[in-house]
Structure 1
Amino acid sequence: MTVRAPAPQAVGPRRRAPARARRRRGPGPLPWIAPALLLIALVVLWPVYEMVRTSFLRVSTSGFVRGPAGLDKYRKLLGEADLGRVLLSTVLWTVAVVALTMVLSLGLAQLFDQRFPGRRFARWALIAPWAASVLMTAIGFRWMLDRTAGVLNTAMTDLGLVDGPRDWLGDPATAWPWMVAVAVFVSLPFTTYTLLAGLQTIPGELYEAARVDGASRWQTYRRLTLPLLRPAFLVGLVINLINVFNSFPVIWGMTQGGPSSDTATTTVFVYQLKSSDIGESAAMSVVNFALVVVMVLAFLKVTGRARGEES
């Protein structure tokens, strides 16, 4: 008995699913991500659009638009005598605060990763600067450093360390170190816990294998801990770069960028310009936003290239 194979059927174009079947599948992911997209549009894109638009307008200090300004506000901004100093101060401020924060946070994270009496309470205590308002912390340090009623001047005068009260925040030479110290103080909790989370994801078996192979503690740290900690380190570094570059409460709460603009960064300079020319202030905001975008893109390119070389 011969069994014949079924004749091949002609292959035609695929038929679309009926409308009822498509409705049964649901509308897809759009309803779920629509609230997030709407929030991004309202909170990020719309303010950026308004910021750029305002930089091309003549706006009075009371907020009334007086007409288009073209590129006049950008020309006026480039002619500001304080702009170069403010840009340099912003770069030095960002590098100093981020570098100190990352180094100190790395040490604290490794300390809190060890077992010692009171570790839980030490971890809780580290959250305090993070939980408190940054502006409130800055104002508290400003009171402590006050020339007439500050605790620091009173204590140092009583101990004979200084001849008389010093204006710590009135002189840029002493104001900048204090502001850097406060910025590091409020940045430590987040960065430390980010690195601590990265340390705790490293399996203990890897350290045991390294000890069996005869690796020293420094070799284990350099060839095992640091490479595996790199993702958490990069997260903390990028977020700190953005936060510190755009930092406003610490500087405004302690010196308001003064005297003049000697202790101002670009973010504080934006606010100082607002009192005299809103359009110029918006132009400075556009420049500041562009600098942040360039900085982040450059950092991501460098880290992406390094990852490609490792793989």
Structure 2
Amino acid sequence: MSPNSATPRASRARRGTAPSRRSSLSGLGPLPWIGPAVLLILLVVLWPVYEMVHTSVLRISTSGFVRGSAGLDKYRKLFGETDLGHVLLATVIWTVVVVGLTMVLSLALAQLFNQHFPGRRLTRWALIAPWAASVLMTAIGFKWMLNQTAGVLNTAMTDLGLIDGPQDWLGRPGTAWPWMMFVAVFVSLPFTTYTLLAGLQTVPGEVYEAARVDGASTWQTYLRITLPLLRPAFLVGVVINLINVFNSFPIIWGMTQGGPSSATATTTVFMYQLKSTDIGESAAMSVVNFALVVLLVLVFLKVSRWNEEES
């Protein structure tokens, strides 16, 4: 057999292997592309959840040594805590108030920044400042501003005659909660405002022109056109804020550490407080906290009917 006759057969054999390799890769579908993301989710999300649940059924000493299985004893101990009911109620109020105020104020700011006015670019940049700074740093800054002896708020209000003397703003739950909610709204506004602003800028101008031609008033246009078309961005803002605010730790810990006792603690802070006395009980609180935030998001998505098309 001559070399010339073998070469075409070898080339045909080589050409025949390429389609088989492509067909084997195509059989995997999108797995090669989403594989790294799935692996990252397994390592960053599912593995910590498994460890959290596993730790909650162990008896662990304060020094970190496993002393055996505890079964459901840590959950029984957790649900027997006298502060748990108050902490759960405070967490719900904290989440609803902060998310509600954030969405209302962000909607107003997004509507303002969507208009053309002098200095719009500068004000948009200024809004990013609370977002760019560390949340813990912002919380500590407000803590010093509200300090009873050296805080600028007490000094200014005393000089203006608004109060008779320095107030311990963060020492009492009645005044600590409103200030912590203020800081939480303050740091949540930038992201939510820009999310809603992006949604507003996707609304076609021709829709507003058609509404004006039909004689719709400004309020009717806003209710029947702007808000329905803004619904996807609004849902994204609400869901992300629900998760962030429910799990908020730096603001409360930086300003009051959940004290006095657990009077200004949410479930996340309460979980950290339990860590100093019982690691297993703290892990049980973590499991409950995780289940609550998932349930909260699912209930909201169900009520809002997020996956239904607008008629």
Answer whether TM exceeds 0.5 for this pair. yes
Distance 1:295 1:35 in 2: 29
The normalised TM-score by structure 2 is: 0.92
Q: Deviations over 1:268-303 (max 9, x none)?
A: 000000000000000000000011111111122223
Aligned to 2:139: 138
Shift of 1:235: 0.5
Offset, 1:25 = 3.8
User: Cα gap change, 1:49/1:306 in structure 2, threshold over 3 Å: closer, same or farther?
Assistant: closer
Alignment correspondent of 1:270: 271
Does the residue aligned with 2:195 lie in a helix, a strand or coil? helix
* Whole-Å separation in 1 of the counterparts to 2:238 and 2:18: 51
Q: 2:93 aligned with 1:92, yes or no? A: yes
Deviations 1:35-92 (A, max 9, x none): 1111111110110000000000001111110110001000000110000000000000
SS across alignment from 1:58: strand
Unaligned runs of 5+ in 1: 1-17
Q: Which residue matches 1:22?
A: 20
Residues in 1 aligned to 2:187 and 2:152: alpha-carbon distance in whole angstroms: 20
Q: CA deviation at 1:19?
A: 6.9
- Contact kept? 2:235, 2:306, Cα under 8 Å: no
**Distance change >3 Å, CA 19–CA 73, structure 1 → 2:** farther
Q: In the TM superposition, what are the counterparts of 1:77-226 in structure 2 within 5 Å? A: 77-226=78-227
| Letter paired with 2:56 | S
**How many angstroms apart in 1 are the aligned matches of 2:68 and 2:211?**
70
What is the match of residue 38 of structure 2?
Answer: 37
| Structure 2 partner of 1:67 | 68
Amino acid at match of 1:236: G
Matched, 1:281 2:292: no
The secondary structure found in structure 2 opposite 1:105 is helix
Aligned partners of 1:235 and 1:225: how far apart in 2? Answer: 16
Give 3-state SS (helix, strand or coil) of 2:68's partner.
strand
Q: Give the % identical residues.
A: 81
SS in 1 for 2:139: helix
Consecutive aligned runs of 4 or more in structure 1 exceeding 3 Å deviation: none
Taking the aligned partners of 1:281 and 1:142, their CA distance within structure 2 comes to 27
- 8 A Cα contact 2:195 2:237, kept in partner: yes
Please give the per-residue CA displacement for 1:83-133, whole angstroms capped at 9, x wherever unaligned: 000000000000000000000000000000000000000000000000000
Task: Give the TM-score normalised by structure 1.
Answer: 0.92
Query: In the alignment, residue 113 of structure 1 is paired with which amino acid?
Result: N
Once the two structures are superposed, the pairs formed by residues 241-256 of structure 1 within 5 Å of their partners are 241-256=242-257
> What runs of 5+ residues in structure 2 fail to find an aligned partner?
1-15
Q: How far apart are the structure 2 equivalents of 1:136 and 1:93?
A: 21
